[in-house]
Structure 1
Amino acid sequence: MALNRLFANLSITSTYICRQRIHTCTVSFASKPNIIKPRPGFGKAYRRIVHFPEEYTVKPLEVTNLAGRDPITGRVVAKGIGGGIKHKYHWIAWVRDGPKEGPPQEEKVIQVMEDGCRTSNIALVAVGDKLKYILATENMKAGDILKTSRDLPRIPVRANEGDAYVLGALPFGTIVHCIEKDPGHGGLYIHAAGTYGTILRKQEDRVIVQMPSKRLFSFDQHCMAVVGRLSNIEHGNTPIGSPQRNRWLGNRPRSGLWKRKDGRHGRKIRPPKPVKEIAHNTKSKIPAIQMTMHP
């Protein structure tokens, strides 16, 4: 009888464990569907859609303002976006390409202007018989001559503000922006107003750059970078000043109903720490051990 009861208990326990596992698996699969996450840097934009033509142009491009809505479903995704002044979009030529040997290519700055779709100013530059937009540096002005080269010389070059060279051609301590991730793919890093990176050192064929976040990134020495600090330095220090100007910037206000944050992420009320006693150590010292050569 005792053995039968033992086997009955074991069968009940195993059935319960199996059901629990099945239930847990069912819940986990139902609550976590197979979602393909987007790659970093290629997310959706819910503020505006820019209608790019097939070929590059300096003509201001048409923009469709989304006001925080999904462009396909039309539902509100980002509640903090809405309104704002309607701006045209200026297409930036991110690739600063130059000769790989010989003298650098010269470019002339035609005009420096503000752009409503980005924080830093932009500059209209003439290269031969073509025009293009680039990000303006701190002291860039109309009439400046910029140099661009992909040559990697044996001795570092003395570059001026706005010049574009490969990272391996610039000396240590140079401040740069618009750094390429891969050679020839265009400037991807450091676009915000007033930001810059600093070239610290080299490791074989890699160049270590300190980013605006103080993190250290290692780039290929053939990646292009533009010398200097980006323009519109006071962008982060300028107060908005009024709620109406905040609406001009495209920021939709909240409901205005104040509510204390509660739940697991709310305010934590923890007991005070115990009293730490600060006193002089009165313990006697351990006597020194004298060792002799005799047993």
Structure 2
Amino acid sequence: MSGLRAGCSLFRTLSSIAPRSFSRSATGNGLRTLSVRTFASPATSTKQSTEGTSFDDLSDGLKRYKPITPGMRHVRRPINTHLYGGKPLRALTLPLRKKGGRNNSGRITVRFRGGGHKRRIRIVDFMRHEPGEYDVVRIEYDPGRSGHIALIRARDPKAEGMSKWKYILAPEGLRAGDVVQSYRAGLSEELMRALQDEEADDKKRTKREKKAKREKQEKPGHESKSPAASLGAGVVRGQTIKLGNCLPIKYIPLGTVVHSVSLNPMGKGILVRAAGTYAQVLYHEENGRHSHIRLQSGEIRKVLSNCAATIGKVSNPLWNERQLGKAGRSRWLGRRPRVRGVAMNANDHPHGGGRGRSKSNKHPVSVWGWGTKGTRTRKPGPKGPKNSNKMVIQERPRGKEKRLRAAVPEEASA
């Protein structure tokens, strides 16, 4: 043993005395440094560091996280880097007292509700009655709706205090620094004059075109030049048809995409307010009383021309592509587990009971006994209630018609 120890000590002594050689990593770094070309990309491939990022796929505008936990494996979230990360303007919020799906007598009227994160209600202005220019300060997240909201500030120096601050529903593409305006109270005198000049020029242009057409038929070699189009339409549209502006539908050109449509000339916008939805102006009647719009569902209906709408479609269009990933996120949103009827007792649901957990040979019904899973509960059209659908020109597609409509874009793209 003593000889073995002496040999080990001699080996250590010799290794400490011998000159040190360059390590393999150091030599490799030196060669890599010498081979780098300053006028082009590096000659050797260097692996980029991915530390600090927990997601790797951003191709379709959605965050997909690395599956470091089972709850993160299927999570998909829209990328909204433009959203403000702080708290809302407190003066434009109200506390939300949760009811857990109970009414004033304490009975459950909406099932599977309860819990959830603490919230404050954002007071959003859907009326847009006050005219004037407003600057967009920031775009914010609203836990009470699927779309985003925009905080705007009035340029009017007479506005003082909190009267110059508002929340509005943010259309897609609106960013901080933009300017929005409401023409719901009416257009200015200059715009009205330009609009009247445009209508007069349209009538004169129509008469001249008809006259030129007759002359061309009589004299084939004669060609008359049509007058230049009026600049009235360009002036009006350039100042009014902007993203986020609110104005009566009768001033909106055909084919324009709108949202937050009102059904009362003095009421608030109640149609087309969910994330990514939009309506389209199709036709203005000659008498000027009604306009035809196509809603997101495909329904075409009449709306009073004096009703207001906002230009653009609602923000956050990828909201319906999100995936929560785990049950806990549903609980954070205030949703409790939805229990199936066949899993209940017989006194809790018509499908309940039975040792084999079968609803037997019954038609599927709700907990209150109504028909469900395809059973129609409403009679549309002339067979329905009186004057229930008198403003609907074409109902939304259902069943086979709806599936065909969804398949048309795929065939067109192919």
What range is the shorter-chain TM-score in? Answer: 0.5 to 0.7
**Is 1:265–2:363 an aligned residue pair?**
yes
User: 1:118 Cα shift?
Assistant: 1.1
User: 1:222 Cα shift?
Assistant: 1.3
Contact preservation (8 Å) 2:254, 2:281: yes
User: 1:107 Cα shift?
Assistant: 1.1
Contact preservation (8 Å) 2:137, 2:176: yes
Other-structure match for 2:125: 93
CA deviation string 1:167-221 (max 9, x = no partner): 1111111010111111121211111111110111112321101011110121111
**Is 1:84–2:116 an aligned residue pair?**
yes
Q: Give the number of the structure whose residues are more often strand, by fraction.
A: 1
3-state SS of paired residue (1:140): coil
Other-structure match for 1:113: 140
3-state SS of paired residue (1:119): coil
> In the alignment, which of 43, 47, 69 is matched to residue 102 of structure 2?
69
Unaligned runs of 5+ residues in structure 2 are 1-89, 196-232, 344-356, 366-414
Superposition map of 1:231-250 within 5 A: 231-250=315-334
> In the alignment, which of 164, 170, 173 is matched to residue 136 of structure 1?
170
Change (3 A) 1:73 1:207: same
3-state SS of paired residue (1:180): coil
CA deviation string 1:256-290 (max 9, x = no partner): 775554454249xxxxxxxxxxxxxxxxxxxxxxx
> In the alignment, which of 297, 302, 309 is matched to residue 225 of structure 1?
309
How many residues of Structure 1 are paired with residues of Structure 2 in the alignment? 205
User: 1:59 Cα shift?
Assistant: 2.9
CA distance in 1, matches of 2:264, 2:97: 31
User: 1:165 Cα shift?
Assistant: 1.3
What amino acid is the match of 1:66?
Answer: K
CA RMSD of aligned residues (A): 2.1
Other-structure match for 1:6: none
Change (3 A) 1:89 1:264: same
CA deviation string 1:82-127 (max 9, x = no partner): 111111001111111255xxxxx21111111001111111111112
Contact preservation (8 Å) 1:193, 1:235: yes
The farther-off stretch of 224-233 and 144-153 is 144-153
> In the alignment, which of 182, 188, 191 is matched to residue 148 of structure 1?
182
CA distance in 1, matches of 2:358, 2:262: 45
> In the alignment, which of 274, 279, 284 is matched to residue 192 of structure 1?
274
Other-structure match for 2:17: none
Q: Give the number of the structure whose residues are more often helix, by fraction.
A: 2
> In the alignment, which of 137, 142, 150 is matched to residue 123 of structure 1?
150
Contact preservation (8 Å) 2:135, 2:177: yes
**Identity in percent:** 30
Contact preservation (8 Å) 1:96, 1:224: no
CA distance in 1, matches of 2:102, 2:113: 9
Contact preservation (8 Å) 1:58, 1:131: no
